[in-house]
Amino acid sequence: MQIYLPIAEVSVNAFLLLGLGGMVGFLSGMFGVGGGFLITPLLLFIGISPAVAVATGANQVVASSVSGFLAHLRRKTVDIRMGTVLLVAGLAGSLLGIGVFNALRQAGQAGLVVQLSYVLFLGLIGGLMFQESLRALTRARRGAPPRRRIRPWVHGLPLKMKFRTSGLYISVIPPAGIGLLVGFLAAIMGVGGGFIMIPAMIYLLGMPTKVVVGTSLYQIIFVTAFATVMHAVTNQSVDMLLAVMLIAGGVVGAQVGAIVGLRLKAEQLRILLAVMVLAVAGKIAFDLVVRPAEPFSLLDAGGV
C-alpha cells in the first residue's frame, strides 16, 4: 500500500514505514535511547531528503521519549532538577543548531555535515561504550564490584548545586555544557542525543545509572519538541503523515523492546547497543569515502 507524503512529496510503502518505526522503536525500548540516530539515516536511505528526515526524525523522537519517560516517572527514576539544567542549556544549543543547519542547507552542505556528525559522534560513543562494556563484562566475570568514578576537575568548578535524586552536589557548568552540545546535535542530526547524554551523565557527572535514562528522556522530550517546532517554522520540513506512520510503529515496538530488554543483562545490552551504533557509523563512513554512483544531486527551491 503506497502512501503519498505531503511534505516530502514522495510516495512510499506504508508498511515499510510502519516496519521501520517498529524496528527502531523495538531497539529504543530495549536500550532506553530515543532511536533518532537510527531513524534519520534510514529515512535518508529510503529517499527522503535530509531536511525532511532530520525534522521528522526529531518529531518521532518526541513520541518515543514521552512513552519511555512516563514509565520512568512512575518508577521515580527521573532527576527533574538535573534534567531542567540540561534542558535550559539544551534549548539554547538547539536554537544555535537550527541556525547553523539553515546556513548549511543554503550552502549545499547539510547532507555532508549530517553524515560527518553521525560518523564522528556515533564512532566515538560506540567505541567508548564497546570498550567500557567489554571491561565491565570481564570485571563481572571476576566478581569485582564496579567502580563509580567522578572526574576530580568537576568538583573544582563554581556554581554548585544540590541534585537530590542523583545524590550529587556539583557545579552546574558541566551539565550545562553537555546540554548545550546535545541540543545542538538534536537540531543538526534529528536525534535526541541520548546516546551522548547517557554516557556523559554516567562517566562525566557520575550520576547513578538508574536515574540516567529517565532524566535523559525528560530533557530529550523538550529539546526535540523545540527542534520540531523550529524546523516546522523555519524550514516547513516536518512531514506529519510520515511522523504518524513512524510513531504508530515505534510506540508499539518500544513497549515490546522494553519487555525483551528486561530479560537481558545490562552489560550485554550495552555491548549490543555499542555494536549497533558502530555499524551505523561504519555504513555512513563507507558512503562518504566510496565514489558515489551519481556525483550530481538536486536541491529544489521548494525547500524540501
Partner 1 sequence: MAAVLALLLLLALPAVAAGAAAETVVPGLSQSRVAITTNFDGSEILIFGAIRRDAPPPAGPPPDVVVTVEGPSFPVTVWRKSRRFGIWMNTGAVRVTEAPAFYAVATTGPLETILSATEDLRHSVSIPKAIRAVGTAATEDSPDYLEALIRLRSAANLYQMLEGGVSLTGDALIEASVTLPANLSEGLFTVRILLLREGSVVDSATRTIDVQKVGIERFLFRLAHAEPLAYGVLALVLAIAAGWAASEGFRRLRG
Least separation in angstroms between residue 102's CB and partner 1 is 14
Shortest distance in whole angstroms from residue 301 CB to partner 1:
4
The least distance separating partner 1 from the CB of residue 122, rounded to whole angstroms, comes to 16
Nine-digit cell string for 116: 560527518
- The conformation of residue 200, written as its DSSP 8-state character, comes to I
- What is the smallest separation between the CB atom of 288 and partner 1, expressed in angstroms? 5
Whole-angstrom distance between the N-terminal and C-terminal Cα of the chain? 24
What is the distance between the alpha carbons of residues 262 and 71, in angstroms, rounded to a whole number? 13
Maximum C-alpha span of the chain: 61
Between 66 and 80, CB nearer to partner 1: 66
Nearest distance, CB of residue 161 and partner 1, angstroms = 29
Grid cell digits, residue 219: 530533557
By beta-carbon proximity to partner 1, the closer residue of 22 and 126 is: 22
Helices 14-31 and 266-289: crossing angle in degrees, nearest 10, is 130
Site for partner 1, rule CB under 8 A: 1-4, 6-7, 9-11, 59-60, 62-71, 74, 108-109, 111-112, 116, 221, 225, 228-234, 236, 238, 240-241, 243-244, 247-248, 251-252, 254-255, 288-292, 294-302
Q: Which is nearer to partner 1, 66 or 204 (CB)?
A: 66
Residue closer to partner 1, measured from CB, 231 or 270: 231
CA 132/CA 127 separation, integer angstroms: 9
Q: Which residue lies nearer to partner 1 by CB, 1 or 159?
A: 1
Q: Residue 28 or 133: which CB sits closer to partner 1?
A: 28
d(CA 68, CA 260): 14
Q: Identify which of residues 233 and 264 has a Cβ nearer to partner 1 in the complex.
A: 233
What residue type is 177 in one-letter code? G
Distance in Å, CB of 156 to partner 1, minimum: 38
| CA separation for the pair 87, 191 (Å, rounded) | 15
Angle, CA 145 vertex, CA 143 and CA 148 arms, to 5°: 155
What DSSP assignment string belongs to 41-60?
A: HHHHHTT--HHHHHHHHHHH
Q: Of 222, 101, 91, 82, which Cα lies nearest the Cα of 162? A: 82
Measured from the CB atom, is 11 or 138 closer to partner 1? 11
Report the length, in residues, of the chain.
304
If one counts every other C-beta atom within 10 angstroms of the C-beta of residue 155, the result is 12
| Least CB distance to partner 1 at residue 294 (A) | 7
CA distance 37 to 65: 13
Shortest spacing between CB 239 and partner 1, in angstroms: 8
